[in-house]
Amino acid sequence: MSVAELPTIGPRDDRLADVGRLVVRCPDRPGIVAAVSGLMAAVGANITDSQQHSSDPSGGTFFLRLEFFLADLAGRWAELEQRLAALAGEFGMTWRLTEAAHRPRLAVFVSRTDHVLQELIYRVRSGDLRAELAAVVSNHPDLEPVARAAGIPFHHVAVTADTKAEAEAAALALIGDVDLVVLARYMQIVSADFCARFPERLINIHHSFLPAFVGANPYQAAHDRGVKLIGATAHYVTPELDAGPIIEQEVARIDHRATVEDMRRIGRYVERQVLAQAVTWHVEDRVIVDGAKTIVFA
């Protein structure tokens, strides 16, 4: 079956109707779980999954992720938000409430390699990644056939050192109001202004096990160093190159016989798995940024 023949998935999934997600962050203290659970019980919600973490039970930060079922969730939304706002004031919470049925809109930025884009397309079409691929943007035209075959709008925005700012502005205008931007082996460094446009909503795949081998040509650098493990890292993008909060990492073992091309070939499989997993966790509200790190409720 070709990509074009796979079933189209719309912006919502009715199988998850009336399922909500709540993500909470606040100073740790006794009674947080009881208060949130009590609120859910008071509105008639059934908690179906709960994960929590404290950075330090004495003066640390508390993190919580809930999934719950509430009949007529859309109709009860305003009431739920009002109750959560009151509870947040009492506990000093920041919180995020989402509908599990909603499919976030993703813009994928690529250059010439297609393996990570192909993985995202497959996972969306198979239902493993509950998202909508709204656009593919590239500084080269090479991957237009891949995007078109999948029914995704493709935008070629050439980038030079002299036109970088204009190119970013054009790309932003083309992708519109997306929920997440994914740099899927996009071989350009995005500006601080671009990062600020998508705080904690801009994910990159770097083809090394960070913090090792930052920047360009990490496989060559790894080969020169004689490493025995190569890896990939998916992270949120910040103005500092390859230094944003890490979401997911994986490695593959190699030995002294591996050439740089061997590393690239093996690494492609690692990269596609790592980025797809990170994007899935983000879309499912499983990632909370905590300074330079992340809490991942996998």
For each of the chain's 298 residues, which pLDDT tens digit applies? 233 333 334 455 667 899 999 999 999 999 999 999 999 999 999 999 999 999 999 989 999 999 999 999 999 999 999 999 999 999 999 999 999 999 999 999 999 999 999 999 999 999 999 999 999 999 999 999 999 999 999 999 999 999 999 999 999 999 999 999 999 999 999 999 999 999 999 999 999 999 999 999 999 999 999 999 999 999 999 999 999 999 999 999 999 999 999 999 999 999 999 999 999 999 999 999 999 999 999 9
Phi, psi of 143 (to 5 degrees): -95, 10
Rounded Cα distance between 37 and 84, Å, is 11
Residue 95, strand partner residues: 24
Domain boundaries, the chain: 18-99, 105-296
CATH number of 18-99: 3.30.70.260
**Nearest alpha-carbon partner for 109 in 280, 279, 233, 289:** 279
Which residues are known catalytic residues? 242
**Nearest alpha-carbon partner for 298 in 234, 244, 248, 232:** 248
In terms of phi and psi (left: phi > 0; alpha: psi -120 to 50; beta: otherwise), the region of 44 is: left
> Could you say which DSSP state residue 102 is in?
B
CATH class for the domain made up of 105-296: alpha beta
Strand blocks (E) in 114-260: 132-138, 154-156, 180-183, 202-206, 229-236, 246-253
